[in-house]
């Protein structure tokens, strides 16, 4: 079972549930956070509440593909984990050492350390949804999307759903100095999530999800890569346990779990590109890329 938001009438957002058969049912709650709160108040899981609300209801006549999807949750905060896959460690080492790859770096250290790398990535205002434009920084020459499994958390840091995240990143800025990480990661429209939230109980094994990233330029596919969440070095609860530690977590916080797909080193995103990130069972997040305005 997946939860989406779509544009119903001019500027009115509608929450809906999508079954595995692709049937779409409107939900009465105005957003995912309200659904979470009502489920908690009823001492029920979000899935049980959705099943109760949709039992015997009439599905929409439109299919999912015919709807104009919006960001599925206006996450108050988006956090991200880094260097959680071997491929990310290798790519970070490349950009930090100018490709020498001879000395051990802090990326090697954090990959093996008990404490994971977690960083603040975005706020609702900086985050776009399906079809929304992600923006390039004007002061970077080496920018890439980072396709990541993203966790939707309740106020206690429990995983209530899975979505797709794009952690847009500037490899040159981070490579120049790791203290520039916030600038390499956070700017206007540098984060995308969606297109749907798959409820936790409906995911049999979050460590066997297939992630595929495709980048199109002038209608041609210029990058394609795939990975599995089975390659993740850490457990999802390990990441959430560090995020909640001595922290205030807001209902609907999103935590991206790190990237395992990095485009070839000579590649940088350009104005007009289109990024597609697909995760099995969740959907495909599509975003056009635009230069800073
Ligand atoms: O240290 C840099 C961040 C790495 C990252 O975002 C990732 O591995 O996905
Ligand atoms: Mg990342």
* Residue 9, beta-bridge partner list: 12
pLDDT tens sequence across 228-259: 999 999 999 999 999 999 999 999 999 999 99
State the sign of the Cα–Cα–Cα–Cα dihedral 219, 197, 85, 242.
Answer: positive
Regarding the beta carbon of 67 and ligand 1, being less than 6 Å apart is answered no
pLDDT at 257: 98
Structure tokens at 119: 């960083």
Q: Is the CB of 258 under 6 A from ligand 1?
A: yes
- Residue 10 in this model has a pLDDT that exceeds 90: no
Q: Does pLDDT of 210 surpass 90?
A: yes
**What number is the average pLDDT over the span 264-281?**
97
187-212 mean pLDDT: 98
Protein residue with its CA nearest to atom 4 in ligand 1 = 82
For ligand 2, a single-atom ion, the residues with CB < 5 A are 146, 167, 259
pTM for the structure as a whole: 0.97
Provide the 3-class DSSP secondary structure of residue 123. strand
Q: Quick one: which of 139, 152, 182 has its CA closest to 31?
A: 152
List the Cα angle 11/48/152 in 5-degree steps. 55
Which protein residue has the closest C-alpha to ligand 1 atom 5?
A: 82
pLDDT over 80 (residue 102): no
φ and ψ at residue 258, rounded to 5 degrees = 105, 160
> Nearest ligand to the C-alpha of residue 107?
1
């Amino acid at each position: 079972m997946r939860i989406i938001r779509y544009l119903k009438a001019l500027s009115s957002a509608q929450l809906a549930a999508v079954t595995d058969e692709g049937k779409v049912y409107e939900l009465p709650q105005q957003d995912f956070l309200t659904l979470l709160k009502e489920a908690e108040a009823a001492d029920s899981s979000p899935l049980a509440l959705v099943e109760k609300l949709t039992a015997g209801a009439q599905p929409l006549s439109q299919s999912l593909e015919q709807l104009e999807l919006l960001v599925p949750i206006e996450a108050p905060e988006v956090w991200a984990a880094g260097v959680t896959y071997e491929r990310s460690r290798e790519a970070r080492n490349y950009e930090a050492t100018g490709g020498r790859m001879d000395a051990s770096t802090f990326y090697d250290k954090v990959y093996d350390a008990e404490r994971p790398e977690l960083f603040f990535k975005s706020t609702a205002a900086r985050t776009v949804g399906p079809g929304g434009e992600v923006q390039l920084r004007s002061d970077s020459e080496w920018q890439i999307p980072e396709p990541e499994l993203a966790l939707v958390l309740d106020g206690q840091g429990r995983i209530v759903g899975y979505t797709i995240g794009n952690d847009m990143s500037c490899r040159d800025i981070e490579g120049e100095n790791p203290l520039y990480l916030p600038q390499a990661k956070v700017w206007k429209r540098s984060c995308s999530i969606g297109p749907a939230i798959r409820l936790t109980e409906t995911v049999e094994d979050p460590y066997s999800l297939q992630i595929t990233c495709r980048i199109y330029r002038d209608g041609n596919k210029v990058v394609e890569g795939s990975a599995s969440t089975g390659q993740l070095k850490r457990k999802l609860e390990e990441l959430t346990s560090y995020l909640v530690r001595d922290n205030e977590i807001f209902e609907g916080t999103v935590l991206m779990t790190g990237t395992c797909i990095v485009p070839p080193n000579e590649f940088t995103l350009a104005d007009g590109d289109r990024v597609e990130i697909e995760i099995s069972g969740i959907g495909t997040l599509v975003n056009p890329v635009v230069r800073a305005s």
